[in-house]
Structure 1
Amino acid sequence: MISTPSTAASPTSSFFARFAGRITAWSGTTLAFCLALGLVVVWAATGPMFHYSETWQLVINTGTTIITFLMVFLIQRAQNKDSLVLHLKLNELIAAQKGASNRLINAQDFTEGEINLLHQYFCLLAEKAKLDHDLGRTHSVEEAEENHQEKRRVCSHH
């Protein structure tokens, strides 16, 4: 049996995870946008009342800066989680697919050089697929190389 990491989270961590998820989801709603827009409209409308003073300008600048600063961390946290989940799903598909190259499991941990090398290899694989004139056929890296070599052997014998 495969061991899995402990799923027990501290109550504080669990609370923050739920809180961050809800805030991140809510901040992308139409209601959140309308409230933010309404706040800006109210602030702009009060400009003449405060003679467009530096304090009046400072209120919106400070408020938006604080909100932006906090939202960056919440959004990044959500994006990190989404990215990790996507990688896990892709790893599961690679691991489950017969003929798929297991070398690509956890490819997100590869160096930039390794990623660029794989990208070049898959560009070559795409070029070979174009030469097949069969868009419905897929190959693992190994199968594509074997097929390509076989085609070269067949063509050289004719």
Structure 2
Amino acid sequence: MKIYSQCEIIFEKLTSYATMILGNPISFILAFIMVIVWWTNSFYTAIDVHQIIGDIIFGVTFLSLFIIQKSFNRFSGSLHLKLNELVATSEGARNTVMNAEEKTEREITELSKEYSDLAEQIIEIEKEI
């Protein structure tokens, strides 16, 4: 079980680092240059039109990955900031959920279960009233 926990921690750090890299404007510029070189190479070699169209579609799809990741990083960061502000200023809110994006998947699952149990308790109390 300890090995699994270590693997999970390493994977969380790796995915966090990968999303940071893929959402970086410099990564997009490098990918864009790579696609341009790939396209220009396709035009100078004897390849049929269908292959060139396929290459263009693949290149656009590849570049879209970086654009989508950047948009997601920005949206996710602003959402987490807003939620942290709400938790910090709300009386009775538990600060354990602040910066939840930095927790491991296991910690998030445990917190989610706690809140699901709490929601069930509240529903039961409301039924009694």
Measured against the shorter chain, the TM-score band is 0.5 to 0.7
Measured in 2, the distance between the counterparts of 1:79 and 1:114 equals: 22
Q: TM-score, normalised by structure 2?
A: 0.59
| Divergent runs of 4+, >6 A | none
In structure 1, distance between residues paired with 2:113 and 2:96: 15
SS of match in other structure, 1:98:
coil
Which consecutive residues of structure 2, in runs of 5 or more, have no partner in the other structure? 1-24, 30-46
2:92 corresponds to 1:99: yes
Residue 76 of structure 1 aligns with an amino acid whose one-letter code is Q
Are 1:80 and 2:70 matched, yes or no? Answer: no
For residues 126 and 99 of structure 1, what CA distance do their matches in structure 2 show? Answer: 15
**Equivalence map 1:1-80=2 (5 Å):** 55-80=48-73
Structure 2 equivalent of residue 122 of structure 1: 115
What's the offset of the Cα at 1:75? 1.1
Which whole-Å CA distance do the structure 2 matches of 1:72 and 1:120 have between them?
32
Match 1:108 to one of 87, 101, 104: 101
Shift of 1:67: 0.8
Root mean square deviation, CA, Å: 2.0
Percent of counterpart pairs with the same letter? 37
Query: What runs of 5+ residues in structure 1 fail to find an aligned partner?
Result: 1-15, 21-53, 135-158
Deviation at 1:74, TM superposition (A): 1.2
Q: Which has the higher helix share?
A: 2
Q: Deviations over 1:22-65 (max 9, x none)?
A: xxxxxxxxxxxxxxxxxxxxxxxxxxxxxxxx712112101101
Tell me, what secondary structure is at the counterpart of 1:133? helix
